[in-house]
């Protein structure tokens, strides 16, 4: 589906993200135009392709699927004419197979058996598209596997000739989405997450982000982090300000003595992000129990990262001291330029990783 977003602000409701997969040319200005605001009114954190900037490539949308906890897949008559819909569907299947995503199939005025068995125009259109991409057999095989798997999940069916109208059907979609969401608990007191490589993620909620308690300046929402296999809240800078200041600390007792670690901020900048041509200052300080310390500063321009997915902003490296030394690291990213107003940065957290 092509991206048609015109704002730098992500969805306002908090909670795990719900990705809507649908044929835009067919449903964007009809069924989905009614479904989306009703889901938002129910405080569901909806993501559809217009929440990306015009010109965004498909890879960005696939990352949004990986960050979601629920996917609503709307099968319609023209669905299989879109390779983007099918690429998204293949990613949805992969995430479901890995246990990170729940899926609600919706059969919109289309018999479920037609989708499952690839019958009629729905199936013929898919076979025509498959022939068009005959030179990409791995890609089309993933489409076929997804079309065999996802429609077998218990879903919701709106008959073209049934008694249920679209508004009643939308209410049932909202109820089913809320039912799944109620089974997904987002931690109110986020933990520092670890992974099998010996790295740690300090989520944005554990950081001190200047003015992040002001909803007119920062917005909080939730995504799923596949690396750490955990829901995590992210902070999005909205409107425009002159200051960014993000600080945090971490006790080294959890680290392997003598091993070198790197500290990176995990951020994303929207395509419409402004004010990042001037360099931000990044600081890393190691403070020992005896108050001795070492500090490293660097300056970096974030403008080159605009439009990318999550990027690592490298702060510095340090060697973990002996556990008995009871040391702590402190890190920060800040900039204040009153002539260079900023917007569009999203903060996921800070990662502390062993240097390979």
The residues assigned a catalytic role are 88
Report the distance separating Cα 231 and Cα 18, nearest Å.
13
Q: Which residue has the tokens 């489409």?
A: 143
Give Rg (Cα) of the chain. 23
Report the distance separating Cα 80 and Cα 219, nearest Å.
36
C-alpha 215: how far from its chain's center?
20
Looking at the chain, how many residues does it have? 356
Task: Kindly state the tokens that stand for 19.
Answer: 């990705």
Three-state secondary structure of 274-285: ECCCCCEEEEEE
Report the distance separating Cα 49 and Cα 212, nearest Å.
26
Report the distance separating Cα 326 and Cα 328, nearest Å.
7
Q: Establish how many alpha carbons lie within 13 A of residue 309's alpha carbon, considering only the half-sphere containing its beta carbon.
A: 11
Q: Running DSSP on this structure, what letter comes out for residue 341?
A: -
Q: How many CB atoms lie within 10 A of CB 42?
A: 15
Q: How many CB atoms lie within 10 A of CB 301?
A: 11
Tell me the backbone φ, ψ of residue 144, rounded to 5 degrees: -65, -40
């Amino acid at each position: 589906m092509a991206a048609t977003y015109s704002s730098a602000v992500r969805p306002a409701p908090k909670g795990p993200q719900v990705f809507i997969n649908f044929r835009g040319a067919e449903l964007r200005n009809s069924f989905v135009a009614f479904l989306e605001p009703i889901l938002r009114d129910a405080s569901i954190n909806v993501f559809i392709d217009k929440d990306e900037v015009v010109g965004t490539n498909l890879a960005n949308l696939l990352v949004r699927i990986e960050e979601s906890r629920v996917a609503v897949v709307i099968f319609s008559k023209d669905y299989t004419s879109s390779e983007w819909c099918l690429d998204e569907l293949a990613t949805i299947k992969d995430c479901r197979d890995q246990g990170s995503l729940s899926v609600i199939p919706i059969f919109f005025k289309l018999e479920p058996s037609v989708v499952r068995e690839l019958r009629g125009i729905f199936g013929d259109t898919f076979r025509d598209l498959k022939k068009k991409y005959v030179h990409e057999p791995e890609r089309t095989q993933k489409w076929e596997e997804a079309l065999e798997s996802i429609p077998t999940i218990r879903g919701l069916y709106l008959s073209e000739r049934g008694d249920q109208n679209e508004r009643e059907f939308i209410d049932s979609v909202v109820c089913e989405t809320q039912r799944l969401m109620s089974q997904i608990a987002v931690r109110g007191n986020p933990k520092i997450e670890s992974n099998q490589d010996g790295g740690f993620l300090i989520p944005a909620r554990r950081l001190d982000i200047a003015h992040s308690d002001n909803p007119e300046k920062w917005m909080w929402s939730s995504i799923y982090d596949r690396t750490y296999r955990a829901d995590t809240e992210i902070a999005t800078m909205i409107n425009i300000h002159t200051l960014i200041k993000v600080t945090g600390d971490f006790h080294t007792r959890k680290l392997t003595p003598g091993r070198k670690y790197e500290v990176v901020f995990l951020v994303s900048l929207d395509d419409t992000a402004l004010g990042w041509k001037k360099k931000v200052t990044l600081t890393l300080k190691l403070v020992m129990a005896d108050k001795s310390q070492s500090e490293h500063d660097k300056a970096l321009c974030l403008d080159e990262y605009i439009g990318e997915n999550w990027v690592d902003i490298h702060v510095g490296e340090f060697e973990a001291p002996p556990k008995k030394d009871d040391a702590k690291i402190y890190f920060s990213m800040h900039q204040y330029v009153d002539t260079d107003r900023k917007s569009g940065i999203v903060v996921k957290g800070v990662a502390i990783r062993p240097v390979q």
